[in-house]
Structure 1
Amino acid sequence: MVTALKSQFLFTMSADLEESIPVGAGPLGMRLVAYVADGTVKGDKVNGVMLPGGGDWALIRSDGCLQIDVRACIKTDDGAIIYATYGGRMDIPADLQPKAFNRATAETIDPGEYYFRTCPLFETGDERYAWLNRIQAVGVGRLTSTGVAYDVHQIL
C-alpha cells in the first residue's frame, strides 16, 4: 500500500556565503566552492547558528542544473554541535540566471520561478538531538542577498 508523503516543519536555516571560488570546467562540469561565513537556524525544536568553515562544493552540470554538495555544522543555542550534509538541485531558467547569480538582485526573484531542493541528513552525539540522527529531511530553498535560506521539513 502506498501512502501519501507527510512532513513536519523543523526550522529555517539561513547561510551567509562567501563569494564563490570557481574551480573551473572539469570532466563533470563547472565546479564552484562557496564557504559558509555564518548563518542562523530557527525553529520550534532546533535553534542556533551556522559555524564558519562549512560549504557547498557545487557543480554546474552540462544541462545547466546546479548539483548541490553541502557539509556544514550547526551550534545550537544550548551548545550542541550538529553536522549536516546534503545534496540537492537548483535549476534556474537561463533568462533568470543573471539576476539570480548577482547578490544585489538574487532576492528579487520569486522562489516559485526556480527549483531549489535539498535532502539534509544530520549527525550529532548530543542525546538531546539524537532524534535527528534517525530522520530524513527535505529543504525548500531560496536565494538571498547574502547566500541561501531553506525551510527544512522532517519527512514523517
Structure 2
Amino acid sequence: MKFDPEPQDPPGLEFAFAFRVKFSNRVKIGTVSSGFTRGYTGVVGGDVAGPKLNGIVVPHSGGDWPAYWPNGAVEFTAFYMLQADDGTQILVKNRGFRYASPEVTARMERLDPVEPHEYYMRLCPTFEAPEGKYDWMNRTVFIGTGNRQADHSIFRFWKVA
C-alpha cells in the first residue's frame, strides 16, 4: 500500500511562556568513558512570564548537567522547579542542544556577549504539574529556543498544536 508523504496537517505553534534562568558558575567535571565532558551549573533562580504561565524559577531547586561533545555540540539535561503565581509547584525537565562555530564557542567560554543568531540552541522540555490548573502541561509537547548570557539564559517555549 502506497502512502502520500506530503504533510496534510502540519502542527501549529502557540507561544506559551519564557523563563529567565540564573545560573551559578559553570563547571566542567571531566571527560567520561562515553567520550564527552560532563559539566554542571546550579540554578540560582529566575522568573517565568507569558500568556500561559507566570511565576518564578525556584532558587536552588536544581541544575543543568550538560554533555560537551568533541564535535562542539552541547547536550543539555536540566531539572529544576517553577512556582506559579498561585503557588503551584511544577517540575521542569529540559533537554536540548546548542551548537556554534569554534569561534563563537570560544567567546561563550570566555562569557563574552554572543547574539542568538550566531548559534543553534533548541529545547524540548517536559513538565510535571499537579492535577488542576496546570496539568495540561503534563500532556503537551513543547519546543523552545535558548539565548545564553554570561550569568543567565532566556528560554522561550511554544506549545505544539
Whether the TM-score (by the shorter chain) exceeds 0.5 is yes
Cα distance in 2 for residues equivalent to 1:12 and 1:145: 18
Query: Quick one: which amino acid aligns to residue 92 of structure 1?
Result: A
Equivalent in the alignment of 2:145: 140
User: Is structure 2 residue 82 aligned with structure 1 residue 70?
Assistant: no
Equivalent in the alignment of 1:150: 155
Q: CA distance change for structure 1 residues 81 and 126 in 2, over 3 Å: closer, same or farther?
A: farther
Secondary structure of the corresponding residue to residue 131 of structure 1: helix
Q: Which runs of 5+ in 2 are unaligned?
A: 1-5
Moved more, 145-154 or 10-19: 145-154
Write the mapping of 1:2-17 to structure 2, written as runs, cut at 5 A.
2=7, 3-17=9-23
Cα distance in 1 for residues equivalent to 2:117 and 2:84: 30
Runs of 4+ off more than 6 Å = none
For 1:83-102, what per-residue CA distance to the aligned partner results, in whole angstroms no more than 9, with x for missing partners? 11021100011011122123
Structure 2 residue corresponding to 1:25, chosen from 23, 27, 31: 31
Equivalent in the alignment of 1:59: 67
Offset of residue 27 of structure 1: 1.6
The answer as to whether partners of 2:47 and 2:55 remain within 8 angstroms in 1 is yes
Secondary structure of the corresponding residue to residue 133 of structure 1: helix
User: Is structure 2 residue 45 aligned with structure 1 residue 41?
Assistant: no
Cα distance in 2 for residues equivalent to 1:46 and 1:122: 12
Offset of residue 4 of structure 1: 1.9
Identity of counterpart residues, as a percentage? 24
| Number of corresponding residues | 153
Query: Quick one: which amino acid aligns to residue 8 of structure 1?
Result: E
Offset of residue 79 of structure 1: 0.3
Query: Quick one: which amino acid aligns to residue 87 of structure 1?
Result: R
Query: Quick one: which amino acid aligns to residue 20 of structure 1?
Result: R
Secondary structure of the corresponding residue to residue 136 of structure 2: helix
State the TM-score, normalizing by the size of structure 2.
0.90
